[in-house]
A and B are shown apart, each in its own frame.
Chain A
């Protein structure tokens, strides 16, 4: 019953065509923007072409939907573009390739659902809705997944506070964790009096010397 096989495609499986190059050609024909970073290939499409793009990629052999997730660019320094990015992480088993299909949405915009293409998108899209508030049209069960019913708001948005409770010590000292950490964030001197090396995302002169790697020519690293 248990077979220890070598890495061939199993017999009887449909052998899809195209792979990354096929998908790339199809997506670029749709007007997608290509981006490559450290071996990871991603394409950004418009929301109305999203389902077509995913269909093209699926028929090029990317049969496994690994993940759907969102990114909130609200506090990203130097970001130009819409507030949210929803990215689809797709994997091609036969060709051992991975591709990311991304789309940018503003707050309040809706996206078409991918549950017609992959049932795996069900929980994933519900999680994106729960955490960011992006509604997926056509989803069979568009409701929260992880947070309690009485939690209003979408926790992974950058303007949703992390909700830290101040710590009360036995001797009566109150320690607010955010103030205590402020020196690491660099936004103010916090309780230590030291103003941190650099603000989050901004490089000081010292930083530019210390960090050897520079990513050249990019406005927002994740577009």
Chain B
């Protein structure tokens, strides 16, 4: 996103917010989108494909996810990679709560998004019932390229360039609330 675009759009938003704060908010959003650090939450097979997306062929680090932080307190996005069992669900909620704002969740794979091929007593049928999910990635497992695309979509969402299913623009990430 060129800095020139930032300043051109600000002319329209002059009345509502004021030049400095809006452009600063956009700068912060741009910075946040380009350095999303995932928390390691690999559960099952999707975790292996998540690892493969960080290897030298499909390099997730060039999109800003330089390191996968083991501690959730240092992470921005939680990639739920794999089937979430009902025993693990409270722990996942706790890890999500430990992440500082702003935080996002990518539900990777069919099992995290909908229970996948496991429709039984042990698997949570949609991770969205435990944590609020921003991006769902289909696949069993999704290719590393699919995960990279999901991260790119999340970046668009963070910057306020994404639309939901009704065509309404999703808001940019808050700059100053936390």
Contacts and interface: CB of A to CB of B under 8 A. Distances in A.
Interface of A: 147-149, 151, 155, 160-165, 167, 177
Interface string B119-133: 111100100000000
Contacts of B122: 147, 155, 163
Nearest to A165: B125
A165 B119 CA distance: 6
B128 to A, nearest CB: 14
B86 interface: yes
Interface majority SS (helix, strand, loop, mixed), chain A: loop
A148 B115 contact: no
Nearest to A166: B119
Contacts, number: 25
Nearest to B88: A148
Contacts of B85: 148
Interface residues of B, number: 9
B87 interface: yes
A160 B125 CA distance: 19
Nearest to A155: B121
11 contacts: A148-B87, A151-B86, A151-B121, A163-B120, A163-B121, A164-B119, A164-B120, A165-B119, A165-B125, A167-B119, A177-B119
Contacts of B121: 151, 155, 160-163
Contacts of A148: 85-87
Q: Which 7 A-B pairs have the closest CB atoms?
A: A163-B121, A148-B87, A164-B119, A165-B125, A162-B120, A163-B120, A148-B86
Nearest to B90: A148
Nearest to B89: A148
Nearest to B126: A165
A127 to B, nearest CB: 14
Interface in B64-110: 85-87
Most buried by A among B115, B120, B121: B121
B111 to A, nearest CB: 13
A107 B38 CA distance: 48
Given A147-B122, A155-B121, A165 B115 contact: yes
B117 to A, nearest CB: 11
A70 B122 CA distance: 19
Nearest to A153: B121
Given A148-B85, A164-B119, 6 more contacts: A147-B87, A151-B86, A162-B120, A163-B120, A163-B121, A177-B119
Contacts of A160: 121
A177 B120 CA distance: 11
A164 B87 CA distance: 17
Contacts of A164: 119-120
A92 to B, nearest CB: 35
Contacts of B119: 162, 164-165, 167, 177
A162 to B, nearest CB: 5
Contacts of A177: 119
Contacts of A149: 87
Nearest to B114: A167
Nearest to A164: B119
A82 to B, nearest CB: 25
Nearest to A178: B119
A46 to B, nearest CB: 33
Nearest to B119: A164
B60 to A, nearest CB: 32
A162 B122 CA distance: 9
A167 B118 CA distance: 12
